[in-house]
Chain A
Amino acid sequence: MTSFQQYRDHHDAQGPVVLETVPAAGRRYQGDRAGFVIRAIAAVLDVVFVGIIVVLLWIGVWLFLLIFNPLIDPDLTVEVTPPSGYFLLAGYLLMWLYWTWMWATNGRSLGQYLMGLRVVGRQGRRFGWKLAMLRSGFCAVFPPGLVWAIISPRNRSVQDVMLRTSVIHDWSSSSSASAHESTPESSPSPTSAPTTSPSDAGE
């Protein structure tokens, strides 16, 4: 047991105290770039989450049509079933909105929260709405981009490479991204817009 004096001397030298709320199992991964598998699981969880919403929406519309439209087609033929194509589109749209909102406000989606991940921008910080919209749109339209995380030495998906973002392990439950931080990657000009640098584009 350390005495208060020892504790104080130690922390006076170390700077402000940061209480460790991360479970012991996750501390050694904290701040590391996350690999393909865990990101894929998080993405699947997000897709399942959005999928459930879309299915509920579909059931709602179907019930609506069933209740208010029986006179048009009393035999309950195909026309009553809502066109699935629209719901696929709605799913993409919802996915885009959901990721945008979650990444811009929390820096992590629900799936990422459950898997202890966080999306960070160039300075290792949470990014703004613009970048969140770009990234989530890119992710929704081109999910296979994540496969590049297997090959990339820095575990970056195509989206990460293009938009200069990273996904890191962050088991803390706080919504701010600067608990452990984790500063930027090798970016020489932190103020510039999130465009791809030559080295990253080549990755």
Chain B
Amino acid sequence: MVAMSDREVVVVSRPYEPEGDSLSLARDLAASTFGLVVYSTQTAVALTEATMRSVVGSVLDKTVPAIADAIISRIDLTDIVVRQVDLQSIILRALDEIDITQIVIDRVDVDEIVGKTDLDAVIDRIPMLQIADYIIEEIDLPQIIRESTGGVALDAFTTTRVSAIRADEIISTMVDTVLLRRLRQRERKLTVSDPEPDRQEETTEEPGR
């Protein structure tokens, strides 16, 4: 363990003795005078500048709007902009930079708009019947109905009908062969799109019958 020791401070007063000679005194004096002058000048300049700035600022504040108004009232700015500025490229550039969709999503209340819309008028403009027909055709509703209702009975009739039609075809082919006739195939359909050839066939065929 170290023993604590008291610290003693001894204050001694000494008499003032100017350092150096008179030359150094003069140098000090000159230096301090120069510093004072420089400081004073700087302060004066700063003060003047501040004063001028405030004065000029207030003058400009008063005069510039009036001058600008006077100028603007004498020229057609819109016309100048339209003539001189490439508005399309500015707009396109602006559109490139902003995401309108996101803005609409963020800022527009779509539900509110839909709530205020006249939906009846919208529906009137929608081709409902065409849409219904489209759906019916896409899902083949007639086929579904045929398959679901009376399918067995209908199938029986379909089979009978088709068999009878086949029999008719065989008979007509046989008759055509026996009578050396080749026209039946063309005359079977009941159409009138072109009556003249039909008539011709009929007349040319007449003697062979």
Residues of A whose CB lies within 8 Å of any CB of B are: 1-2, 4, 7-8, 11, 17, 19-21, 23, 25-26, 29, 31-38, 41, 114-116, 120, 124, 150-151, 153-155, 166, 168-169, 171, 182-188, 199, 202-203
B167 close to chain A: CB less than 8 A:
yes
User: B137: which of A7, A33, A115, A185 is its contact (CB, 8 Å)?
Assistant: A7
The answer to whether B187 and A21 touch across the interface, beta carbons within 8 angstroms, is no
User: B175: which of A7, A151, A168 is its contact (CB, 8 Å)?
Assistant: A151
- Residues of A near B188 (CB, < 8 A) are 32-33, 154-155
B78: min CB distance to chain A, Å: 43
The answer to whether A26 and B181 touch across the interface, beta carbons within 8 angstroms, is no
User: A8: which of B130, B157, B169, B191 is its contact (CB, 8 Å)?
Assistant: B130
- Residues of A near B195 (CB, < 8 A) are 185-188
Identify 24 residue pairs between A and B in the complex whose beta-carbon atoms are under 8 Å apart, listed by A's number.
A19-B136, A20-B142, A23-B158, A32-B188, A33-B187, A34-B165, A35-B167, A35-B172, A115-B157, A115-B160, A115-B164, A116-B161, A124-B190, A154-B187, A166-B190, A168-B190, A182-B190, A183-B191, A183-B192, A184-B192, A185-B192, A185-B198, A187-B195, A199-B202
Q: How far apart are the CA atoms of A31 and B137 in the complex, in Å? A: 22
* Other 18 A-B pairs with CB < 8 A, given A35-B168, A38-B168: A19-B133, A20-B142, A25-B162, A31-B190, A33-B187, A37-B167, A41-B160, A114-B157, A120-B190, A124-B192, A150-B172, A150-B175, A153-B205, A183-B192, A183-B193, A185-B195, A185-B198, A199-B202
Question: In the complex, what residue of chain A is closest to B178 when comparing beta carbons?
Answer: A151
